[in-house]
Homo-oligomer: A and B are copies of this chain.
């Protein structure tokens, strides 16, 4: 517009700005997870734009799984609880393909303690070495067979007071508890996969030998604005399960 000589005029479409405003409201908790956000018409009036512009903004939020549209009912803040798909971020499936067969996972929390971030944990969580973190270790079993061993690191400042009892008692996805108890909503994640051999401890916990290859899954989960809020190192047994991925 101004004819400035800047290399990037930073043109931003209206709907992107609206999307930003809605995102801000989501982030500030104006609407709780699972609740409906205002109708498209209401939002259009609030932001003084047409319904179509709001629609396009919400379309993108829905594509990013931040929000869920339900025709005839409204648009709802996405939640890890009571979502059709339990364990949204877990891609390990039984080889049979039928998740119902094996039923829900049995969880056993082995440990949950306060500590200080090591260099690599600090890097993953965008903290400084020595910052307080909470570390937990647990096992997930399917049909009685221990299948996943997970070590979890959380920034201490955001999860004050988290205890093993907390993690053990809550039914449903851990990420749902994070939403309810700490107001932390995991929005996306990145995983790095490797094939590894377990050490003696890990092997014992998963009831395999130290010669059994396991799938190592390092996950960093992010909340809004790409802020990392969890580091999770998982060891998956892949003798009866596999990690499934879709490419397009």
A-side interface residues toward B, CB under 8 Å? 63-65, 88-89, 91, 187-197, 211, 213-216, 219, 236, 238, 242-248
Contact = CB atoms under 8 A, between A and B. Distances in A.
17 contacts: A89-B247, A91-B245, A190-B244, A190-B245, A191-B244, A191-B245, A193-B244, A194-B215, A194-B238, A195-B195, A195-B213, A195-B215, A195-B238, A196-B238, A197-B213, A213-B214, A219-B247
Contact of A248 (B65, B91, B215, B219): B65
A91 B216 CA distance: 15
B65 A243 contact: no
Q: How many copies altogether?
A: 2
A214 B188 CA distance: 27
Q: Closest 10 interchain pairs by CB? A: A213-B213, A195-B213, A195-B195, A194-B238, A193-B243, A188-B248, A189-B247, A192-B242, A195-B215, A191-B245
A190 B238 contact: no
A193 B215 contact: yes
Contacts of A192: 242-244
A213 B196 contact: yes
Given A211-B211, A213-B213, A213-B214, A193 B242 contact: yes
What secondary structure prevails in chain A residues at the interface with B? strand
Given A213-B195, A213-B213, A215-B193, A188 B246 contact: yes
Given A189-B247, A190-B244, A191-B247, 6 more contacts: A188-B248, A189-B248, A192-B243, A195-B195, A195-B215, A196-B238
B247 A193 contact: no
A150 B173 CA distance: 37
Contacts of A245: 91, 190-191, 193, 245
Contacts of A89: 247
Query: Among A88, A195, A214, which residue has the most Cβ atoms of chain B within 10 A?
Result: A195
Nearest to A59: B59
Contacts of A64: 248
Nearest to A239: B194
Contacts of A215: 193-195, 215
A219 to B, nearest CB: 8
B194 A248 contact: no
Contacts of A247: 88-89, 91, 188-191, 219
Interface centre among A191, A194, A238, A246 (most CB of B within 10 A): A194
